[in-house]
Structure 1
Amino acid sequence: MGTVRLVIADCQVDYIGRLTAHLPRARRLLLIKSDGSVSVHADDRAYKPLNWMSPPCWLSEGEAPDDVDWAGRLWVVTNKAGEELRITIGEVEHDSSHQLGQDPGLVKDGVEAHLQELLAEHVTTLGDGYTLVRREYMTAIGPVDLLVRDPHGSSVAVEIKRRGDIDGVEQLTRYLELLNRDPLLAPVSGVFAAQQIKPQARTLAEDRGIRCLTLDYDRLRGTESTEFRLF
């Protein structure tokens, strides 16, 4: 059962890792999900948080250090790379936890579902020697569209979108983190496949070692098998 915790509080946020980032003291929404992720939101930017830590990560709560010039609690979110999201919390206006239940997952529209079907049928679109293992390969947080093997026998996870944006890259990244924990599959690389891929998404994917592939829907449809059709 998924549980989400919502906290509205006066806080400041410091990220310490490959770079440093600072959010000055202000009232914000803190979102803690059952997968361990923690994100910090303001009343703008639509769904995108100001800062966040993706799973696997761990939250510890304690007293703020003495050098903080205002009384408060300290949350420290740490990931396996040793990076930290340090959230100093003053006045808390709201703190509640909610059971969301089992989520059925995203239902793809007709084009995305058809792209998945076509790419599974013509898996060599990914490259010569690629073979399909399974469509909708299940992970603990949902199914990755395709699990395939490259010409060397290594596992490759493929996420398929109509329009590839940063959220799709983050989704595939989470799948890869989980799949690479399975010694029978690891190492697992990723392919982000879409009809259109936004420049920011391509940059993020390539920075994470994920290959991007632009799909030509009409061309894939043109190669669709008609062997068992009457018309």
Structure 2
Amino acid sequence: MRLVIARCQVDYAGRLTAHLPMATRLLLVKADGSVSVHSDDRAYKPLNWMSPPCWLTEDGGTWTVANKAGEKLVITLEEVLHDSAHELGAEPGLVKDGVEAHLQELLAEHITTLGDGYSLIRREYMTAIGPVDILCRSDAGATVAVEIKRRGEIDGVEQLTRYLELLNRDPLLAPVHGVFAAQLIKPQARTLAEDRGIRCVTLDYDALRGIESDEFRLF
């Protein structure tokens, strides 16, 4: 990524025209070829930009950024205050709080969230088609397979259905019931699960972590 702080004016010509008068701004040139112009406000949103694929040509104090559509972003530099380049490397992506692995760990620790008398058999119970998130036993002694998602959608129900079909062939486990657990369950997924005899449970992530909710509280 290249960072340039400069006094500049910016002119855009394309489907419409736009002009930014001379002022000090931050210019970002990213590895994907995009060029964006930022001021010292507006949070992350640029004043103007050109998305890839586009090409930057520098001619003295003039930058011209063009794309296949014939649009041009012309940046005229009056004074360059800073110019540096940095290699950021591969982006590992956003790691969200409350991912499925953590939900699985928390639910295993608080298995009675599924009902009084429930007990854990094991996490990541391996089958021939993949691991079941949690295998547990209900208060009535029945085996229960639990599939955990952040967002419960139809594909998650289908996944649990395949596990149940396989587990119920094992005479040591059968009959095996299913629980589809998620922070949010889509209506279509809930309808399909209930039609197949699978119980749906909505997980409260904060409650599992022992954090008291401040919803509906003034202080």
Determine the structure 2 residue equivalent to 1:185. Answer: 173
Alignment of 1:195-210 (within 5 A): 195-210=183-198
1:137-156 CA distance string (max 9 Å, x none): 01110001000000111100
Alignment of 1:166-185 (within 5 A): 166-185=154-173
CA distance in 1, matches of 2:198, 2:148: 13
Q: CA deviation at 1:222?
A: 1.2
CA distance in 2, matches of 1:163, 1:111: 10
1:136 aligns with 2:113: no
Please state whether the residue corresponding to 2:133 is helix, strand or coil.
strand
Determine the structure 2 residue equivalent to 1:35. Answer: none
Please state whether the residue corresponding to 1:222 is helix, strand or coil.
coil
**TM-score, with length taken from structure 2:** 0.52
1:93-140 CA distance string (max 9 Å, x none): xxxxxxxxxxxxxxx976211100000000000000000000000111
**TM-score, with length taken from structure 1:** 0.49
CA distance in 1, matches of 2:112, 2:210: 15
Partner AA of 2:161 in structure 1: T
Alignment gaps of 5+ in structure 2: 1-94, 212-219
Residues paired across the two proteins, number? 117
Please state whether the residue corresponding to 1:177 is helix, strand or coil.
helix
Determine the structure 1 residue equivalent to 2:142. Answer: 154
Question: Who wins on radius of gyration, i.e. which is larger?
Answer: 2
RMSD: 1.7
Q: CA deviation at 1:206?
A: 0.1
Partner AA of 1:178 in structure 2: L
Pairing partner for 1:218 from 178, 190, 206: 206
Determine the structure 1 residue equivalent to 2:60. Answer: none
1:29-50 CA distance string (max 9 Å, x none): xxxxxxxxxxxxxxxxxxxxxx
CA distance in 2, matches of 1:184, 1:121: 25
Q: Calculate percent identity across the aligned residue pairs.
A: 84
